[in-house]
């Protein structure tokens, strides 16, 4: 009986091991595989960096010092970049363009500026991202990145930020807190349904 099993294995195992499901890799395939894995690694690093930038506050403070993110330094020093970011009035069209470019932090800043005008629409826009992104953090990061350098609030003529309209700054902060409140309210209502 054992002889029959042995003959079976000798005759059929080579067929199974050489089936079409067997993966064969030659040198060019290995190079392609290495390139593919390398691209995955690069994309993962880019995604991590993009995600980190979304939640990074442009201006933050420690015990004795103020920290500026890379984007905040660019806003501080580059008037052309500032001109691209800041407008007198923002529209939902501006928000749509920013979202289509995956510039979510800028889109959230634009929504803070539009708010409370189209409150329900804006809350729905932001809440739509809540399942996949930490929107509370992004709304706060948007405020702390863009409010400090808004020409309606701060003069940058001397090279140093000079806040001349703290009332507008406080209004943007109130809007930011209110948006976060409504997001929490929407989450609570969703859980009760």
Asked, for residue 90, whether it belongs to a domain, the answer is yes
Position 193 scores a pLDDT of 52
Asked, for residue 8, whether it belongs to a domain, the answer is no
Asked, for residue 26, whether it belongs to a domain, the answer is no
Number of domains in the chain: 1
CA distance 123 to 65: 34
Asked, for residue 31, whether it belongs to a domain, the answer is no
Asked, for residue 77, whether it belongs to a domain, the answer is yes
Asked, for residue 29, whether it belongs to a domain, the answer is no
CB 188 within 8 A of CB 180: no
Asked, for residue 15, whether it belongs to a domain, the answer is no
CB 149 within 8 A of CB 143: no
Asked, for residue 140, whether it belongs to a domain, the answer is yes
For residue 104, what are the contacts with CB-CB under 8 A and spacing of at least 6? 54, 98, 129, 133, 138
The pLDDT tens digits of the residues spanning 20-52 come to 555 555 555 677 777 777 788 888 888 888 889
The pLDDT tens digits of the residues spanning 106-134 come to 999 999 999 999 999 999 999 999 999 99
Does pLDDT of 18 surpass 70? Answer: no
CB 149 within 8 A of CB 75: yes
**What's the gap between Cα 156 and its chain centre?**
27
DSSP H helical ranges for 56-85: 70-77, 79-85
CA distance 177 to 155: 25
Domain that holds residue 192: 59-193
Higher per-residue pLDDT: 156 or 6: 156
Burial of 156 (0-12, 13-18, 19+ CB in 10 A): middle
Retrieve residue 101's tokens.
Answer: 């470019």
């Amino acid at each position: 009986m054992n002889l029959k099993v042995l003959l079976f294995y000798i005759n059929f195992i080579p067929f199974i091991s050489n089936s079409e499901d067997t993966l064969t890799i030659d040198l060019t395939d290995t190079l392609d595989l290495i390139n593919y894995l390398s691209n995955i690694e690069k994309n993962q690093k880019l995604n991590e960096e993009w995600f980190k930038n979304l939640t990074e506050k442009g201006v933050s403070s420690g015990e004795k010092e103020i920290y500026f993110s890379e984007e905040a330094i660019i806003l501080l020093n580059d008037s052309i970049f500032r001109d691209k970011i800041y407008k007198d009035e923002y529209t939902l069209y501006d928000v749509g363009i920013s979202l289509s470019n995956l510039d979510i932090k800028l889109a959230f800043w634009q929504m803070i500026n539009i708010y409370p005008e189209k409150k329900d629409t804006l809350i729905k826009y932001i809440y739509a991202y809540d399942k996949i992104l930490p929107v509370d953090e992004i709304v706060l990061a948007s405020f702390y990145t863009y409010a400090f350098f808004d020409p309606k609030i701060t003069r940058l003529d001397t090279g140093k930020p000079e806040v001349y309209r703290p009332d507008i700054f406080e209004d943007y902060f109130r809007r930011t807190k209110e948006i976060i409140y409504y997001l929490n309210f929407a989450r609570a209502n969703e859980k009760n349904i």
